[in-house]
Amino acid sequence: DVKVTQSSRYLVKRTGEKVFLECVQDMDHENMFWYRQDPGLGLRLIYFSYDVKMKEKGDIPEGYSVSREKKERFSLILESASTNQTSMYLCASSTSGAHRLDTQYFGPGTRLTVL
């Protein structure tokens, strides 16, 4: 079974803090994704990575950066957290050439609150 894990289920941070969200997958997938999910807006892609040290901006990369130093791990970084980054963050992974959702495996999500 593919497993995508995220470091925290719930996280509370203060405005201006640097925040790290970690995602690990155990199926040797090439692609990894970070989404945020907000009521009324649905899922929006922040960044994705198709290989180690490779990254591409999604639809809403502003205020975020990512790091992929190892194939199994994809980190989302909020350099200076702001209240409008309060959201549910979902990580996903998929095999090479597979952006299709039916081959993406999602993690359980991290609900981040920025005070």
Q: Contact residues for another protein (CB under 8 A)?
A: 9, 39-45, 88, 90, 92, 99-104, 106-109, 111
Q: From edge to edge, which strands make up the β-sheet containing 73-78?
A: 4-6, 19-25, 73-78, 65-70
In the complex, the smallest distance separating the C-beta of residue 14 from another protein, rounded to whole angstroms, is 23
- CB nearer to another protein: pick between 77 and 98: 98
CA-to-CA dists, residue 55 to 32, 48, 66, angstroms = 9, 6, 8
- CB nearer to another protein: pick between 59 and 79: 59
- CB nearer to another protein: pick between 44 and 73: 44
In the complex, the smallest distance separating the C-beta of residue 67 from another protein, rounded to whole angstroms, is 22
- CB nearer to another protein: pick between 39 and 62: 39
Please tell me the number of Cα atoms within 13 Å of 87 on its side-chain side.
Answer: 22
In the complex, the smallest distance separating the C-beta of residue 80 from another protein, rounded to whole angstroms, is 25
Cβ(48)–Cβ(32) under 8 Å?
yes
- The whole-angstrom separation of Cα 36 and Cα 111 is 10
Cβ(91)–Cβ(33) under 8 Å?
yes
In the complex, the smallest distance separating the C-beta of residue 16 from another protein, rounded to whole angstroms, is 26
